[in-house]
Structure 1
Amino acid sequence: MPLVLFVLIMMQFATAVRAEAVRGSLFVSTSAGSNGTMAALFVGRSPGGMFAERPAHVPVYADAAIGVFGGSDVELIRALIQEAESRIDGYDAVQFGARVKPPQRPTRMTIAEVFDWIAATPGQPHAIGRYQFIPQTLHRLVAKTGVKPTQRFSPKIQDKLADVLLAEAGLHKFRAGALDRQDFMNNMAKIWAGLPNSTGKSHYDGYAGNKASMSWARFDAVMAKISPESG
């Protein structure tokens, strides 16, 4: 093979590898918030950012108990997350940037079928469901909860998976009065980019277009209704 041709081939290969690395490490899965801004569950890694060279989400309380919590307080929190992340389609929400949508509504698919769709459509965002799970997070939560691949990605299953995230954000400590409302809200904002933190902005504001899709005042007013501090 002529040397010039070999060099050109190697240059093309290096360019492709760099492009794939960018997609794998810098891509952020986003969804439209209630005010038309971008929101996302578990933004990807950002050079020099909080999650640089680390998983997309690092649990605050990694040893939190697993289980469906129930209760009016959790229902209220779940509704807030939907307002920030998937207001229109809820449990059947699919990231609007996904060029190839799932073959049917997410709640009619099994967990295995969701993963099959993800594997068959590389290079596009895959945030899915009421809580806009991205693949890395979904895999982790399914393994942690013991959900079977044959089970449907139903509202009940989605709530169960999201409850683990709430526990990891400190729900148990919040309920017990050992974690104040603002700290719990800030922890939640590190998980769901559509929620604001105490600065009034998304924890990921300005990263790939992310912005909070509700105000801190709105977030705090609802959380105050269930806070042990106000009981």
Structure 2
Amino acid sequence: MGGLFSLQGHFETKKQRIPVMLRAMMMLRLIFVWVTAISPLACWGQSGSLVGDGVFGQARGLFVRDGVSIAPKPASSSLFSGHIDGGFFAPLPVVVRQADSSAVQRLRSIIGQAESPVAGYDAVQHRAVIKPRKRPTEMTIGEIFDWISATPGQSHAIGRYQFIPDTLTRVVAQVGARRSDQFSPAMQDRLADVLLDDAGFGAFLAGDLSQQRFMNNLASIWAGLPTSTGRSKYHGIAGNRATVTLAHFQSEITKIAP
């Protein structure tokens, strides 16, 4: 008998075993049928990527989690991976980010002069009986809060901008900072910018807020700055007083926006 069977020479009259090559061909055909059957599922799976944009591929659309279709979230600037909505490099308040950098720096300088003229970013309120073991700029945000918790009943104003606990808690949350982040000069500036926005800095630069109103807003946040009365809004409370004159304050603000 010629053909494939005779070449292989593998006759078994009782079992009629299929030659090895033929079995291999049948197996390949089964694999082909199986792949063809599941190809629609493979195509469906390409509609999205749990990895997201990056070296492992690009998310193309929706992905499914717990039975719910979820659209990929648009990226925004952030220093910390996994913190798209916030972080140390989460977007600044819009008006402060768009303000001229020299104007921002000048305003920060005015506040620093009033609040911490000597120690600057390493300032700790002089009424704090138990001070931190390290300079504030050498501490993490978590260590700052631990110091506050461990020393109740005293002043805890800290840093160039003399953040008090409630204010510090709020602005840290707003910028998305973490306990492990350093309380560095850059971080302190970042936190202070939130308060500048609260005071209406952008509206002032745009001409939508008067100079006097803006100055009074700043004085409502920082006790070392005078209101239009020439005195601190918190004069006499916990030893607070204006540490710069109204004339000087007004002169410096005028240099920012006449």
State the TM-score, normalized to the length of structure 2. Answer: 0.61
The reply on whether 1:172 has 2:202 as its aligned counterpart is yes
The reply on whether 1:91 has 2:125 as its aligned counterpart is no
Q: Which residue of 2 aligns with 1:214?
A: 244
Identity of aligned residues (%): 55
Shift of 1:206: 2.9
Q: Which residue of 2 aligns with 1:46?
A: none
Distance 1:97 1:77, change over 3 A: same
Residue 124 of structure 1, aligned match among 146, 151, 154: 154
CA distance in structure 2 between the partners assigned to 1:103 and 1:70 by the alignment? 37
- List alignment gaps of at least 5 residues for structure 2: 1-92
The reply on whether 1:145 has 2:170 as its aligned counterpart is no
Shift of 1:98: 1.0
Shift of 1:191: 0.5
Native 8 Å contact 2:96 2:196 kept in 1? no
CA distance in structure 2 between the partners assigned to 1:208 and 1:108 by the alignment? 27
For 1:77, what is the secondary structure of its paired residue?
Answer: helix
Shift of 1:180: 1.2
The reply on whether 1:188 has 2:218 as its aligned counterpart is yes
For 1:99, what is the secondary structure of its paired residue?
Answer: coil
CA radius of gyration, larger in = 2
State the TM-score, normalized to the length of structure 1. Answer: 0.68
The reply on whether 1:205 has 2:205 as its aligned counterpart is no
Q: Which residue of 2 aligns with 1:9?
A: none
The reply on whether 1:106 has 2:151 as its aligned counterpart is no
- Relative contact order higher in (CA < 8 Å, ≥ 6 apart): 1
Residue 157 of structure 1, aligned match among 174, 184, 187: 187
Shift of 1:211: 1.5
Amino acid at match of 1:184: F
